[in-house]
Amino acid sequence: MSIRPAPHWGSMPDGAARLQAAFPSNRAALIPYVMGGFPNVAASRDYAHALAPYADIIELGIPFSDPLADGPTIQAAGQRALEAGTRPSDVIEIAASLRGGPPVVLMTYVTLILSAGPERFFAHAADAGVAGVIIPDLPLDEGDSLRAAARAAGVAVIPLAAPTTSDARLAAIGTQADAFTYLVSVAGVTGGEVAVDDTLRAFVARARANISSPLAVGFGIRTPTQAIAIGAFADGVVIASHLIRIIEQADDHAAAIAAIGAYGAELASALAAGRSDAG
Amino acid sequence: MPELAMRFGPYGGRYVPETVISALDELGEAYLRYRGDADFVRELNGLLDTYVGRPTPLYLAERLGARYGIDRLYLKREDLCHTGAHKINNALGQVLLAQRMGKRRIIAETGAGQHGVATATASALFGMSCCVYMGRTDMERQRLNVIRMKMLGAEVRPVDSGTGTLKHATSEAIRDWVTNVAETHYVIGSAVGPAPYPEIVADLQSVIGRETRAQMLAVEGRLPGSAVACVGGGSNAIGMFRGFLSDPDVQLIGVEAAGDGVETGRHGASLGHGKPGVLHGSLSYLLQDAEGQVAEAHSISAGLDYPGVGPEHSYLRDIGRVRYESVTDLDALAAFTALSQSEGIIPALETAHALALVGRQAAELNALGPVVVCLSGRGDKDVDQAGAALGINA
């Protein structure tokens, strides 16, 4: 586990402090993803609540028409959410319903935030208790005023880093990471299958050397075994597409809730055991 | 060392996943290096000369001019380029650059199929593997170009998402690039996408405006009063306009697709009826709904059936240097027939939009002096669709 710098309580957005505090000291954080509005708003709210007891942080997706960073599973889920009439404000209301549970980060694309107006969007999100936002098409060179609006509202912007990111850029990304950094496990889109190998270990080690925030790894993590293996050298694991597949395969809504709840419990106990095994 | 433009006013930028940022940096550095490299420039210019057939003629279309009531109507004959459209200017430059960069695999998106054919052609010429993403709807309405791409050895991957048009094909191509970025060069087909693509494509297409300017001075002894080009992503238009941006007396007009009519909401006129937003990596005018979801465009012309537009056009619109108008499917079809039957030149449906605008505003344009239209492509690819729309059977 990395040694983290003392939090800068004075300058840090409230959301960033809550997110940093959500990373347990003795195991990797579990960060499940729920696509807001898939297959409809009410059902996705139930899925988020089913996962909340096992989650350290919940990632809540706002569906977007053209999600460049997403593979077929999340694309299709987002498309269904849009066809069901899901609006960004519906997803922010799901976040509000999760108050008192693990902190929520919204995952969405930059143009939806620009369309709403960053001040308005982040004020609305902050009112709903949202702690952070992940914007996969906003690299560190873009969006200074958007970041300022988020910070003013107390919402942390979670930067992403990829295996193709240079050391110098990793360091620059680290200066923006006041909550945690999202490491993309592979060059690719969501929903593939991660290989827990020396390449991934070397990337996380390189990020560790350049970034002082907690490091969560996502993209392609499916099984508890993969989560344990990555949790041994990262501070958090994000499970997204696989949870959507579990929902898609369930016979009905009740079965889907039971299945993802059971999967969340399995992942949480695996991560706890994995870290204690690792000493 | 000069830098490539990252933004045009507030527009452009690179709103893409972090994974491809290093590849965009590498592309920008390589383009700057090779643009100034004598061997590269000699090879590219040699190919433009002997393989593409440049310079393309500037043709005085007297019969169409008489029909429209324009004294001096010139057509810049990009339809005579090898493969039948201006797209080869960009594809050849980018594939040559990719070869110098050591890339082995080429990918592209295509709408009308002209960029796909151009990229497949350049890939065949340089012995590179080529994969072209094309929406399912576009594969049906531009069937001939699908066959051409396959004959050239390219793989054509159908894209089924959404309406199966250019927007969806571009998203899929970008996802492929994010996944295979190390060995793959993405040949984007219009002056869109993340920086430095809009600048590179505009630079490679600016040969159109440079030649037109010199040809006009040679034959007319003056600059044109106006230059008109169709705008989907806007690569033929920006290539033409760059020849005249510093000449305030040359009226520049971009023509978007009005589809069924802009009042129906079924159109592709992002500059006329969109608002700024991010699609495919850059900030530009965009057709979108009240929440910012990207809308589907509609046009009879697959190449103009796109809800976004290149960022430089957004800037030129805002500063008022270029006027953007739109033309319906029906008016474009009428111009398609007019050029075919008055000059013996069958234009692409995209190009027909520019011609229709000239017909509609003939009196005003004629008063400014000689009119130049960028005849961006030929219409062989459109025979099925235009034939059906015009009720022409074999």
ipTM of the complex: 0.95
Q: Coil, strand, or helix at residue B96?
A: helix
Please name the residues in contact with B127: beta carbons below 8 A apart, sequence gap of 6 or more. Answer: none
pLDDT in tens, A154-176: 999 999 999 999 999 999 999 99
Q: What are the chain A neighbours of B14 within 8 Å (beta carbons)?
A: 139, 141-142
pLDDT in tens, B223-261: 999 999 999 999 999 999 999 999 999 999 999 999 999
Length of chain A equals 279
pLDDT in tens, A124-136: 999 999 999 999 9
Phi-psi region of B153 (alpha: psi -120 to 50; beta: other; left: phi over 0): left
Quote the radius of gyration of chain A (alpha carbons, Å).
17
Report d(CA A199, CA A208) in Å as an integer.
14
Nearest to B181 among A69, A75, A164 (CB): A164
Please name the residues in contact with B47: beta carbons below 8 A apart, sequence gap of 6 or more. Answer: B92, B96, B125
A1 confidence band (pLDDT: 50, 70, 90): very low
- Which of A75, A89, A137 is the best mutation test for B, with the most CBs of B within 10 A? A137
Percentages (nearest 5) of helix, strand, coil residues in chain A: 50, 15, 40
CA nearest neighbour of A207 among A229, A227, A236: A236
Q: How confident is the model at residue B2, as a pLDDT? A: 63
Cβ–Cβ below 8 Å for B16 and A161: no
> Which residue is closest to A76 within chain B, CA to CA?
B161
Q: What are the chain B neighbours of A137 within 8 Å (beta carbons)?
A: 15-17, 278, 281
Report the run of H or E that residue A59 belongs to, with start and end.
strand A58-61
Mean per-residue pLDDT for B169-173? 95
Lowest mean pLDDT among A18-22, A166-170, A191-195, A240-244: A191-195
Residue linked to tokens 């300058």: A11
How close, in Å, is residue A116 to chain B by CA atoms? 7
How close, in Å, is residue A273 to chain B by CA atoms? 32
Mean per-residue pLDDT for A221-232? 94
Report d(CA A276, CA A269) in Å as an integer.
11
Q: How confident is the model at residue B353, as a pLDDT? A: 98
Mean per-residue pLDDT for A64-71? 95
The domains found in chain A, sorted by start residue, are 14-277 (3.20.20.70)
CA nearest neighbour of B354 among B239, B268, B259, B230: B230
Calculate the CA A37 to chain-centre distance: 17
pLDDT in tens, A230-279: 999 999 999 999 999 999 999 999 999 999 999 999 999 999 987 655 43
pLDDT in tens, B349-383: 999 999 999 999 999 999 999 999 999 999 999 99
Nearest to A137 among B17, B167, B292 (CB): B17
What part of A 215-274 touches B (C-beta under 8 Å)? none
Residues B313 and B252: beta-carbon distance below 8 Å:
no
- Which of B19, B174, B289 is the best mutation test for A, with the most CBs of A within 10 A? B19
- My answer on whether omega of the bond before B55 falls inside 30° of 0, hence cis, is yes
Report d(CA B111, CA B141) in Å as an integer.
10
Identify the contact set of chain B against chain A, taking CB-CB distances under 8 A.
13-23, 161-162, 167, 171, 174-175, 178-182, 276-281, 283, 286, 288, 290-294
Q: Looking at the predicted structure, is the pLDDT value of residue A3 above 70? A: no
pLDDT in tens, B47-95: 999 999 999 999 999 999 999 999 999 999 999 999 999 999 999 999 9
Q: Which of A46, A56, A66, A70 is catalytic?
A: A70
What part of A 50-89 touches B (C-beta under 8 Å)? 64-66, 68-69, 71, 75, 79, 82, 87-88
pLDDT in tens, A80-99: 999 999 999 999 999 999 99
What part of A 156-195 touches B (C-beta under 8 Å)? 160-166, 169, 173, 184, 187-189, 192
Quote the radius of gyration of chain B (alpha carbons, Å).
19
Nearest to A111 among B16, B178, B278 (CB): B278
Report the run of H or E that residue B94 belongs to, with start and end.
helix B87-100
Please name the residues in contact with A111: beta carbons below 8 A apart, sequence gap of 6 or more. Answer: A64, B15, B277, B278, B279, B286, B288, B292, B294
DSSP-H helix ranges across chain A: 14-22, 41-51, 72-83, 88-97, 110-116, 118-127, 144-153, 167-176, 198-210, 224-231, 241-249, 253-277
Catalytic, B376? Answer yes
HSE on the CB side for B131, CA within 13 Å?
A: 18
Mean per-residue pLDDT for B212-232? 98
Mean pLDDT of chain B: 96
Q: How confident is the model at residue A216, as a pLDDT? A: 98
How close, in Å, is residue B178 to chain A by CA atoms? 5
Cα angle B137, B142, B144 (rounded to 5 degrees) comes to 140
HSE on the CB side for B154, CA within 13 Å?
A: 33
Q: Environment class of residue B39 by beta-carbon count within 10 Å: exposed (0-12), middle (13-18) or buried (19+)?
A: exposed
CA nearest neighbour of B327 among B361, B288, B294: B361
Percentages (nearest 5) of helix, strand, coil residues in chain B: 50, 20, 30
Mean pLDDT of chain A: 93
Residues B35 and B203: beta-carbon distance below 8 Å:
yes
Catalytic, A252? Answer no
Cβ–Cβ below 8 Å for A68 and B17: yes
Q: How many CB pairs under 8 A join A and B?
A: 113
Catalytic, A266? Answer no
Report d(CA A12, CA B127) in Å as an integer.
54
Q: What are the chain A neighbours of B171 within 8 Å (beta carbons)?
A: 66, 68
Q: Looking at the predicted structure, is the pLDDT value of residue B5 above 80? A: yes
Cβ–Cβ below 8 Å for B21 and A165: yes
Phi-psi region of B138 (alpha: psi -120 to 50; beta: other; left: phi over 0): alpha
Lowest mean pLDDT among A248-252, B18-22, B163-167: B163-167
pLDDT in tens, B181-197: 999 999 999 999 999 99
A2 confidence band (pLDDT: 50, 70, 90): very low
Q: What are the chain A neighbours of B281 within 8 Å (beta carbons)?
A: 68, 137
Q: Which of A46, A56, A59, A178 is catalytic?
A: A59
Q: How confident is the model at residue A275, as a pLDDT? A: 61
Report the run of H or E that residue B20 belongs to, with start and end.
none
Report d(CA B191, CA B237) in Å as an integer.
9
HSE on the CB side for B168, CA within 13 Å?
A: 22
Residue A182, strand partner residues: A160, A216
Nearest to B17 among A69, A79, A112 (CB): A69
Report the run of H or E that residue A71 belongs to, with start and end.
none
Nearest to B22 among A109, A141, A166 (CB): A166
DSSP character string of B167-221: HHHHHHHHHHHHHSTTTEEE---SS-SSTTHHHHHHHHHTHHHHHHHHHHHHHHS
CA nearest neighbour of B343 among B134, B101, B59, B92: B59
Cβ–Cβ below 8 Å for B18 and A88: no
Percentage with pLDDT > 70 across chain A: 94
Q: Looking at the predicted structure, is the pLDDT value of residue B163 above 90? A: no
Q: How confident is the model at residue B1, as a pLDDT? A: 47
Q: How confident is the model at residue A276, as a pLDDT? A: 52
